[in-house]
Every structure is written in C-alpha cells, then in structure tokens.
A and B are shown apart, each in its own frame.
Chain A
Amino acid sequence: MSTEFEFTIDGETVVAKPGQTLMDACDDAGVYIPRLCDVEGLVPQGSCRVCTVKVNGRTVAACTQPAEPGVVVENDTPQVQGYRRDLVRMLFHEGNHLCPICEASGRCELQAMAYRLGISQDSLYPYLQPVRPVDASHPDIALDTNRCILCGRCIRASRDVDGKNIFEYVGRGIHKRIGVNAENLAATDASIDDYAMSLEVCPVGCIIRKREGFFAPIGQRQFDNKPIGWEIEARHKNRIAVHQIDPSEEQS
C-alpha cells in the first residue's frame, strides 16, 4: 500500500490517497470544485471544463487530473471563477434555456451553478437558438435536447450502470448531440426505472420523466435554499460558509 500525501488548494492543505483525482481528494476534504459533467458514481470524462483549476500555474480539469504530492492548486480565484462563468454562459447560450418555464428549474445544476458563480445578467455572447425536435415517443420519458449540455452523464449511466447503451454522442463540433440506440427512444429498451433516467443523472431538464414535472413547489426545490455543492462543503472540518459570488463583484 502506498501512502497518503498532501497538496494545497487555495492555501489549504488537503490529504489525498494514491489514485485519487484532484476532485476526489477535494470532495473528501470538503472543498468544493464546481462541476457539471462529473457526478459521483460515474467515470469522469472531463468535457464541460467547469471544474477547471490551476495546478502549479497550468489549467487542468480537476475531475480527470490525478492528485500529486505537493502541487499548488488554485480553485476559488477571480481568474478561475471567471473561466467557469464563461463556460457556464457558453452552455446557456448554446442551447435554449428558458428557466421560468422549465420543469427542471430549482433542481437544475446548470441554473444552480449560474447562481453560485454569480451569473444573473445577460452576457455579450450570442444565442445560438437551436431548434431540435423533442423525442416524446417513449410512454414514460421525453428527450428535449434543446437543453442538453452534452455532459454525457446519461451515456455513462446507461452504459456503465444499466448495461444498456441507450445513449451515445453523435455528430461533431457544434453539431454534436445526444443520439439514442434506435430510430427514437421508444424503439430502444429504455425504461423509466433505468438509472440513466433518474433525476440524479441529467443535470438539466433534458431527460424528462413524463407526468412528474414540477413535482416540488417553489421553496422546496433542491437548490432553493442551499447552493449547489453545499453537501460537499458540509464535509469540511471547519465548515466554511459557501462563497456565493455577488453579481456586483463580478468582473467580466
């Protein structure tokens, strides 16, 4: 057995085990690194880049970067948070996001991340306004990829947990999207009981469980009272208050 080692993040010392990624080690220590494509229980893929941190001055994705002894990590710095804001905005502008009428509002990780990062205003980015057909063929599940952020969590959940491979990426570049393993979802063996279709998997309102929309009233939704990442920060030995960025502090 090799032994534990230490590194620092924003000046704080974190203890890591060999084989852990930066994200794993920080999660254990109660230091939250924002993320969208990574979620506990699935292999990390490093695609959203929201978990970008600086390691010894070089930017890397914390979810795939192995922790190494003695490295100096920057996480909650204006520059790194600025990158994340840009990335989250890109995701907002790439798809069609109309939070007020979206059934995922209040439990949506993209929305919650925007709040956490202090994004409350329009940005200079153009809106790409895609028009992608909604796949409502399946009796229990609908797929509205206009809100998809291409995190691939459904792909990994279906493949690695359900053993089904319902989803996969198709197309490339800005035309990349989520495809299903048949002409449409109804023609696959997707089931509402799949882990891939559970509320934990799709971070936004793209995989929709029919007849279950708007199940929690405003005020009781997942992120209504606690910001995204709070459960990780709650593990911190000297619990520190979440640093929500005040939009007025935002420099961009």
Chain B
Amino acid sequence: MDNDNATLIKQACADYGNDPRRMMDILWQVQDRLRCIDGEAMSLIASLTGTYRVEVEGVVSFYAFFSDKRKGDITIRLCDDIVDRHAGAQAVAEAFSDALGIQPGETSADGGFSLEFTPCIGMCDQAPAALINDVVVTRLTPAKVKSILRTLRKTKDPQALIGQTGDGANSHPLVKAMVRNNIRQPGPVLLTDANPEQGLQAALQLSPQEVITQIEESLLRGRGGAGFPTGRKWRLAANTPAEERYVICNADEGEPGTFKDRVLLTEKPDMLFAGMTIAAYAVGARHGILYLRGEYRYLRAYLEAKLQQRREQNLLGAGILGRDDFTFDIRIQMGAGAYICGEESSLISSCEGKRGEPKNRPPFPVQSGYLGYPTVVNNVETLSCVSRIMEQSAHWFRAMGTTGSSGTKLLSISGDCARPGIYEVVFGVTLAEILQQAGAQDAAAIVVGGASGQIVGRTEFHRRLCFEDLASAGAIVCFNSSRNILEAAAYYMDFFIEESCGYCTPCRVGNVFLKKGLEKIMLGEGEPEDLDYLRNLSDTIIATSRCGLGHTSPNPILSTMKYFPLVYSAMVKERPGGMQAGFNIQKALDEARIIAKRRSLIYDPAYGDKE
C-alpha cells in the first residue's frame, strides 16, 4: 500500500481514537477516501484498532455500502424498489448502462463510475430515484440520464446535479436536496406547528418516574410495527440497575415503501431530539445515539448542526435547561446499507462497530443493550410522539385513535395513486378511506406495512389500520389491476433474501427455497402440492427463525396465497399421469448439450427446431 493511503487510514482510525467500537465510522471514512476497503486496508485498520483483519472483513462484507473492491469515484445506486420499477426504473438503468458501458454491479475501467442497484432508498413518492454518492436524485427518466452524466463528467461533483431544491427544509443550505416532502395530510400530533421544547420543559417539571407514568398512560406503542408499549420499555430500562443507560433513536427506516421518518428528520428534528432528551431524562441516560441509515447521509450535516444548536441553547449537554442533575448528549451513528439494522439488537451491534447481526434474547436491550448497558431503542416517530404527549397530556393523546392504538400514525403512501406522500391519520381509519385520500380508486391490491407486512386485495379494504387489526410500520404501496401480484410477492422475497443477515439457518436458506418455489408457480409449472410446500416451509421459517426478519419474511407469499387464492389456482395445475410439471427434461439436458456442443439423440431429436 502506498504511503498516502496508509496515512489516510491511520488518520481515520486516529479520528475515532483507534476504537474498534467506532468501526463503522472508520470504515466510512476509509471507503469515502479510498473508494474501497481492501485486504491491506483491513489489516492496517485491524492492527491500529487492536482487532483482527478477518473481523474487519466481517464488518466490511456485511454492509452493502462498503466494498473490498474499488468503487468508482462516483457510485450511482439505482433504487430497485418495486415502486421504482413500476415507475420506469428499468429504462433508467438501461440508459445508465448504455451511456457508461457497464452493467449494474460493475465499475468502469477508468474507475470513474460504478453502477449498482440498491433496495428502497426511501424516495418511493418521487420514483424512480437514485443515490449518486450521497446525493439523492429523484424522478429520473432515460432522457435525464444523459444530462446527469454530462454534468458528472464535467464537474466530478454530484452536488452539481441539484438544480432546484425541494420544499421545506430540503432547501436548507446544509441539506440542499431535490427531495420533496410531499406532506399531503398534516395531523394533530406530528405534522403540526408545535413548539417541541414545551414538551421537554413540561417533562423536566416532573420526576423521571412521573414522566414514565405519563407515557404509560398515553398508551403510546412503538411505531415500528411490533407495537411494544413505550412506557413499559422505559420502565424496564429505568429499573435495571446500571452505571450508564443509553437512548437510541432508530432512524434506519428500511422497510420498502416507507419514507415518513425521512420527512420527520427533515422537518421536525427538534421534536425528535426533544423526545430523545425526555426519554433520557425518564430512564436516566446520559448518552444518546441517532442511528441514521446510510441512504439518508444527505441529512447528516443538517442534523449535526441542529444538535450543535441545541447544545448552544442548553437543550443538550451538561445541566440541561438549568437542571444541574441532568446531562445528556446525542451522537449520530451512520449505517451503511443493511435493512436488518432496523431490528433493535442488530442496530445495537452496528453501533458497537460490529456486523449488524441480531443478538440473542434474553437478555433484552432494556436489560443489556449497547456495550452491555440498559438501552432504550425507539424509532423516530415514537420519540417524536413523546415530546407532544409531554406537551399536551397523556389524556389528549389517548383520546385519539382506538382503544388499543392511541394517537395518530404517519403513513408513507406510494405506488399507483394520484397523491403519493405522507399522511398523518388517526388510528382506526379504514384502508378504503386512505386509498380515497391518496387517489388510488382503482387499487386492486395494497401492501400494508412493506415487505414484512401483508399484501391485501379489495375484499379487505374495509379493514382498519391499527394494532388490533392491520398493524403497519407505515408503508402503504398501491398496485392497480394491471400489476402482477405474484411478481410483487417475488420482489419482496428477493428483498428478504438480499437482506437476511444469514445468522440462522431457516431465514438464510429457507427464504431462498421459498422464492424458488414461488418461481416455479410463476412459470406455470406448479402443482397443488407446491402450495402446501410453500405453507409448510413458511411455517418452519416463521417458527424457527431467530429474529423478526425471519418471523415475517414469508408474509408476502402467505398473504398473497390468502387474499389472492384465484391467482394461485390459475397458475397451478394438476398433472395427468403422475408427471411432474417441475421437471423439464429439455431444460435438464441443456447444460449437457452446451458442454457436448450438440443435441441429444435420445430425448430431443427435434429440440430447438421449434424454438
């Protein structure tokens, strides 16, 4: 390795105190400068941080945004979400491919460009979109590709692509993004004009125990989909004896079709930071971490500035708002492209500088989380609700929604609808009402809750969005009747295969088998037994997986089988005479034919003539 590179790496490690727990930050810095983290870099990082090369390799190879092979100076990551595909992402990809002379996954010979696909980057309401280094470009068309590349070749600077900036804080000098918020329906709790510091002030008038009681009485449940009562989580953490406690905000919104946290982070960061501060006060934490997904790195400088501003306003740091006994500060931890890091224990692993694999439970994070300390992990929306609850009252919050689901829910709506964007709705609203608002009158199927949620058809549109009926982390993706529902299920299965951490057998292997089983049906080679196969395999994956990803990954298949039985039965046929449809002798012989460079005389004298 040349000296310059070694110096860069040494600097990166030194910037983070040669601390292996800050591995993510070190790797980001090295990747940014060298465009890769190769074997030599891994060895050097390992020796400087006192770990092992293979451990560094384990981390590098876990995250999609790190690479051991050199990436182009400009890396174009095309969002490959199904919404983007429906919006024409394939044509855009081809335009990039043609103009650059490389296929997705490749780097140009001069090292200038890499082209890649990446899962949902949280821009479904302005698809097709891409990340060019950290810069988000939206509403792509093949025609725009030419001018994008012209600008990039001329300036070598993705920032130069941003002409007109988006609405609201997207035009803030530190954000400067062409991203739009698309807030279609504000609501009483989150998308409203409120002074978030009033909630913090109100909380500090109470004892920590009283704050927890307030949150318990509000019946606030975690907005990440699972819906664990927030107050109970806090109480468990507060009651665990420990010298330190941590509050982590999960801003790793990776569920395909969700982008509500992006809008909250852009428009309401103070509401979130106030909520984190209240949580810290309640549980007795001095340190907080905002875990920001790699895809949202364009928001980082802006959020750092907000944090700095809060420190200056005495809303963070020592003696917050004059309370000498209350010290709390927040750092930002960047993720690097791994959906599983939205799972709270994986997120903690990642914050600790490790592979983003879930941890064994028990112990739960509230007992032993970040670095072994009791840790509260809440998502952006949950913590934002907290500051409003403290400002208004538990009673105010509970008065909205249903008995089991209080308050409002932010929805990210995208796909085949006239008004994609963010909606704040009161829990208990029906899908039909939501579709009406979003202008998706001809929806034939909708995904409620993203990949891990349910794909439901028209017969279910009377159902209500709440924890008692259809729970959702907030992604609503609409498909009209021209879309192929099996293709959607297959897309989501591919997503899970890509994003499984691979720790446990059922999820690592089983999802691949599920996808292959679905493909067989899509090819028209399925038999009725194949449906049982899918059900049984799903059952094993759900029952034996180690974390939520495997517990929900069969949902795209199970829910489409449940709500679209006719689609499956149209594709699946009984075969006469015990013939196996899945076995195609011609295909089986193909490989041998290629090796032999001639046709088989036994089975296919006329094979190929027909083609």
A179 touches B57 (CB 8 A): yes
Say yes or no: is B180 at the interface (Cβ < 8 Å to chain A).
no
A182 touches B58 (CB 8 A): no
User: Which residues does chain B contribute within 8 Å of A108, judged by CB atoms?
Assistant: none
Q: Which residue of A lies closest to B355 (CB)?
A: A169
Say yes or no: is B533 at the interface (Cβ < 8 Å to chain A).
yes
Cα distance, A64 to B503, chains bound together (Å):
14
B side interface size, CB within 8 A:
37
User: Which residues does chain A contribute within 8 Å of B55, judged by CB atoms?
Assistant: 165, 168
Say yes or no: is A124 at the interface (Cβ < 8 Å to chain B).
yes
Taken residue by residue from 526 to 549, chain B's Cβ proximity to chain A (1 for < 8 Å, 0 otherwise) reads as 000000010011001001111000
Contact (A83, B509) CB under 8 Å given A168-B52, A176-B502, A183-B39: no
Q: Give chain B nearest CB distance to A18 CB in angstroms.
A: 14
Say yes or no: is B516 at the interface (Cβ < 8 Å to chain A).
yes
Which of A41-49, A135-143, A234-242 lies at the interface? Answer: A41-49
Say yes or no: is A128 at the interface (Cβ < 8 Å to chain B).
yes
Say yes or no: is A61 at the interface (Cβ < 8 Å to chain B).
yes
User: Which residues does chain A contribute within 8 Å of B52, judged by CB atoms?
Assistant: 165, 168, 181
Say yes or no: is B569 at the interface (Cβ < 8 Å to chain A).
no
Cα distance, A83 to B544, chains bound together (Å):
7
Cα distance, A149 to B505, chains bound together (Å):
9
B537 touches A86 (CB 8 A): yes
The DSSP consensus for interface residues of chain B is helix
User: Which residues does chain B contribute within 8 Å of A172, judged by CB atoms?
Assistant: 61-62, 338, 355, 500-502
B502 touches A173 (CB 8 A): yes
User: Which residues does chain B contribute within 8 Å of A87, judged by CB atoms?
Assistant: 505-506, 540, 544
Give the interface centre of B512, B533, B537 by most chain A CB atoms within 10 Å.
B512
Q: Give chain A nearest CB distance to B476 CB in angstroms.
A: 27
Q: Give chain A nearest CB distance to B25 CB in angstroms.
A: 20
User: Which residues does chain A contribute within 8 Å of B442, judged by CB atoms?
Assistant: none
Of the residues B61, B497, B513, contact of A126 by C-beta under 8 Å? B513
Cα distance, A149 to B503, chains bound together (Å):
11
B508 touches A173 (CB 8 A): yes
Say yes or no: is A186 at the interface (Cβ < 8 Å to chain B).
no
8 Å CB contacts to A: which residues of B489-514? 497-506, 508-510, 512-513
User: Which residues does chain B contribute within 8 Å of A252, judged by CB atoms?
Assistant: 536
User: Which residues does chain A contribute within 8 Å of B338, judged by CB atoms?
Assistant: 172
A91 touches B509 (CB 8 A): yes
8 Å CB contacts to B: which residues of A168-217? 168-176, 179-183
Q: Give chain B nearest CB distance to A86 CB in angstroms.
A: 4
Q: Give chain B nearest CB distance to A150 CB in angstroms.
A: 7
Q: Give chain A nearest CB distance to B592 CB in angstroms.
A: 15
Q: Give chain B nearest CB distance to A34 CB in angstroms.
A: 12
Say yes or no: is A244 at the interface (Cβ < 8 Å to chain B).
no
Cα distance, A151 to B58, chains bound together (Å):
16
User: Which residues does chain B contribute within 8 Å of A90, judged by CB atoms?
Assistant: 505-506, 509-510, 513
Q: Give chain A nearest CB distance to B352 CB in angstroms.
A: 15
Say yes or no: is B6 at the interface (Cβ < 8 Å to chain A).
no
A83 touches B61 (CB 8 A): no
Cα distance, A124 to B509, chains bound together (Å):
14
Of the residues A45, A66, A125, A176, contact of B513 by C-beta under 8 Å? A125
Cα distance, A66 to B367, chains bound together (Å):
15
Cα distance, A142 to B313, chains bound together (Å):
62
A173 touches B543 (CB 8 A): no
Give the interface centre of B360, B498, B533 by most chain A CB atoms within 10 Å.
B360
B546 touches A46 (CB 8 A): yes
User: Which residues does chain B contribute within 8 Å of A66, judged by CB atoms?
Assistant: 362
User: Which residues does chain B contribute within 8 Å of A169, judged by CB atoms?
Assistant: 58, 355, 502
Say yes or no: is B206 at the interface (Cβ < 8 Å to chain A).
no
User: Which residues does chain A contribute within 8 Å of B508, judged by CB atoms?
Assistant: 94, 150, 173-174, 176
Say yes or no: is B463 at the interface (Cβ < 8 Å to chain A).
no
A168 touches B509 (CB 8 A): no
Say yes or no: is A52 at the interface (Cβ < 8 Å to chain B).
yes
B61 touches A170 (CB 8 A): yes
Cα distance, A175 to B498, chains bound together (Å):
9
Say yes or no: is B54 at the interface (Cβ < 8 Å to chain A).
yes
Say yes or no: is B53 at the interface (Cβ < 8 Å to chain A).
yes
Q: Which residue of B lies closest to A179 (CB)?
A: B54
User: Which residues does chain B contribute within 8 Å of A64, judged by CB atoms?
Assistant: 360
A59 touches B544 (CB 8 A): yes
Give the interface centre of B362, B502, B546 by most chain A CB atoms within 10 Å.
B502
Contact (A173, B499) CB under 8 Å given A47-B546, A126-B513, A128-B512: yes
Subset of 22 A-B contacts with CB under 8 Å:
A46-B546, A47-B504, A48-B504, A49-B504, A49-B545, A61-B546, A86-B540, A90-B506, A150-B505, A168-B55, A171-B502, A172-B355, A172-B501, A173-B497, A173-B498, A173-B499, A174-B500, A174-B502, A174-B508, A179-B61, A182-B53, A183-B39
Residues of B in contact with A (beta carbons under 8 Å apart):
39, 52-55, 57-58, 61-62, 338, 355, 360, 362, 497-506, 508-510, 512-513, 516, 533, 536-537, 540, 543-546
Q: 8 additional contacts, CB 8 Å, given A93-B513, A182-B53?
A: A49-B506, A83-B543, A86-B506, A165-B52, A168-B57, A172-B61, A172-B355, A252-B536
Residues of A in contact with B (beta carbons under 8 Å apart):
45-50, 52, 59, 61, 64, 66, 82-83, 86-87, 90-91, 93-94, 124-126, 128, 149-150, 165-176, 179-183, 252
